[in-house]
Structure 1
Amino acid sequence: MHTTLKTRLVEVVVPVYNEQRALRDSIGRLHAYLSGTFPYDYRITIADNASTDNTWQLAIELAAELPHVRAVHLDGKGRGRALRQVWSESDADVVSYMDVDLSTDLDAFLPLVAPLLSGHSDLAIGTRLARASRVVRGPKREFISRSYNLLLHLMGARFSDAQCGFKAVRTEIAQALLPAVEDEQWFFDTELLLLAERHGLRIHEVPVDWVDDPDSRVDVFQTAKDDLRGLFRVARKTLSGAARIPVPARVSQAQLPRGMAAQLPKFAVVGVVSTLAYLLLFSGLRQMIPVLVANAIALLVTAVANTAANRRFTFGVTGSAGAMRQQFEGLMAFLVGLVLTTGSLALLPDTVSHGVELVAVVMANALATLVRFLLLRVWVFNPSRRTS
């Protein structure tokens, strides 16, 4: 066992539901690992989500047998519910959680919490999507995970893996954010991360080795549906401005140019809606007219709608004054997207599938989106131009 002075406390929450088969082995392995290698004080909290099997009794036994282990019982299901209750009452310096199957290699735990204890970062997540990560899982879960994270990126999120069950937060940050997190289930992680990023908090990412648990209790498709509903709810809150909350004064926040912090998430939401409309229109027209013509028409229609929506929601311009000029200038941004998407389609061989075409135009649109935001902010809807 390490003899390093242990002056900081890290709480590791393990949410469980009907895990009587795996619980004893997993908690024993986690306890042995932390006791033998972790250079800080730790506490393992087994959070039982109203299990109907022998899980709660096993949790009580483990708490009695192993030092630094305790058990908490909840009357309802939901990983988010368990984390909210334990984290909100914690006296640790850092709160964290991991899945009971321990799919993530425990060697990543110290790199996960160290930047939080040093004050370098505010939240930390394990990512299975980094180049250095080694992941073993089925193609269905791989496809769903990557598609979900791609959708988050289209909304403007910069973190790479929202769903990995291996995360940590500075306790003061967690307790400041928790009142604004509504979800009690699997979307809890994503909502917490989006809220943190919305407030300019620093999110550290650690590449992890991860092996899929074939006995996982997660209903993948139901979870995906719930996550999509959660995304739309967060998008509505962002557009309405209701997502803003106070955070601790001493938290170091990223500094953006004046007004940009409020504009970026709204622009991202408008962009996601515009992209989905573009893909639907492009897919429909693609069946009737040549692909390049379909692309141009779909881009033109959605560009006009995109400029109007950004004018009203992102940059707060109301009234008809200057609307025609701004639409005309917004078409300059449309031309950037047209050049990028037309070029990407022109470079594709004639034999590629429709799916590959969609991927190509989405990637080109992502690049065009960055250019469009800069043009709209510094030129089309620049306040100094509107004032003059």
Structure 2
Amino acid sequence: MSSRTPVRRAALAHPAIPSCLRRPAVEIEIVIPAVNEERRLPRTIEATVAHLRSQPWSSAVVVVDNDSVDRTTEVPEHFDNPVTPVHVIGCSEHGKGAAVRRGIVTSAARYVGFLDADNATPIETLDKILPLLRNGYAAVIASRHIEGSHCEVDSALRRCGGWTFRRLARTVLPDISDTQCGFKFFDGPLVRSVAANCQVNGFAFDVELLVRLARAGGTIAEVPVDWSDMPGSTFSARRDGLRSMADVLRIVLASVPR
């Protein structure tokens, strides 16, 4: 890995963002993209908030509702607290990437990141991540495919598709073992400036975001994680997997010198 080049920028103004979407600045804010997650979301928010409140950092959680038709938007109000606020904002543009991007660009936090609504990655992983961010990394991401990690995936189709996706992603991110684990945190000012220009709305948004961060001079660190394939995922290996590979292929082709 190349030597770290800390990027320190003043918080950027986003005049196009309505004031109702902006939130008070905290040291770390966690974005949770959600679509029809009223069943899985309570356990995830409860565990996340409990951990954050035990830490010395100022923090907040924001659930980005991606056009849910269930009671997803009602869940956060049961956990909201002045110590660690739990916000809800909407994102009518469909796709996990669109929802995460909305949460990032509307954040004013020093560090911002996201985790999946299924709670597949233990929130305690954050304790490994924050020191690296403070040490100057632009992005610190959980990885299921480096030494020290443990990954449980029941579906053979997902294992095969994941292997193919990783091989393709490494053509543009050769030093990254796992671009798709849903637990990533960033230097806030830098990622906001980068995310504002991202275009991929689907599950391959991580690749585009990391590629743009690297091109902006940011360095990326991976940390091992204990990860479990949780039931109830909205990800379809056939439908979303093919779309994601197509998106990555477009990112790869866009990276080829002309």
Instruction: Using structure 1 for the length normalisation, give the TM-score.
Output: 0.56
Shift of 1:238: 2.1
Contact 1:63/1:71 (<8 A) preserved: no
Corresponding residue of 1:42: 59
Q: Which of the pair has the greater relative contact order for Cα pairs under 8 Å at 6+ separation?
A: 2
Bigger Rg, which one: 1
Please tell me whether residue 95 in structure 1 is matched to residue 120 in structure 2: no
The equivalent of 1:253 in structure 2 is none
- SS of match in other structure, 2:196: helix
Secondary structure of 2:181's match?
A: coil
Match runs of 1:350-365 below 5 Å:
none
How far apart, in 1, do the equivalents of 2:175 and 2:168 lie? 11
Is 1:185 paired with 2:202? Answer: yes
Which of the residues 115, 121, 143 maps onto 1:127? Answer: 143
Query: Bigger CA drift: 146-155 or 100-109?
Result: 146-155
> Cα gap change, 1:60/1:228 in structure 2, threshold over 3 Å: closer, same or farther?
same
Amino acid at match of 1:217: T
Instruction: Name the SS for the 2:238 alignment partner.
Output: helix
**Residue 22 of structure 2 corresponds to which residue in structure 1?**
none
* Alignment-derived partner of residue 37 in structure 2: 19
Distance 2:27 2:82 in 1: 21
- Could you tell me which amino acid in structure 2 is paired with residue 20 of structure 1? E
Structure 1 residue 156: deviation in Å? Answer: 5.2
Structure 1 letter corresponding to 2:177: S
Given the superposition, is the C-alpha separation of residues 66 and 50 from structure 1 closer, same or farther in structure 2, using an over 3 Å criterion? farther
Cα offset for 1:64? Answer: 6.7
In 1, Cα distance between equivalents of 2:57 and 2:82:
21
Gaps of 5+ in 2: 1-24
Partner Cα separation in structure 2 for residue 20 and residue 175 of structure 1: 28
Q: Is the 8 A contact 1:10 1:41 kept in 2?
A: yes
Q: Residues of 2 paired with 1:221 and 1:107: CA distance? A: 32
Which of 77, 85, 88 does residue 94 from structure 2 map onto? 77
Show CA shifts across 1:157-212 (max 9, x none): 22110110000111111122113311112111111112222344200111000011
Give % identity: 25
1:201 aligns to 2:192 (yes or no)? no
- Normalised by the length of structure 2, the TM-score is 0.83
Residues 63 and 89 of structure 2 are in contact (CA less than 8 Å); yes or no, is this contact kept in structure 1? Answer: yes
Alpha-carbon distance in 1 for matches of 2:78, 2:26: 27
Q: CA deviation digits over 1:202-259, x for unaligned, max 9?
A: 00111000011022111122222112221232233223xxxxxxxxxxxxxxxxxxxx
CA RMSD of aligned residues (A): 2.1
1:305 maps to which residue? none
Contact 1:93 1:171 in 2 (8 A): yes
Alpha-carbon distance between aligned partners in 1 of 2:84 and 2:214, rounded to the nearest angstrom: 36
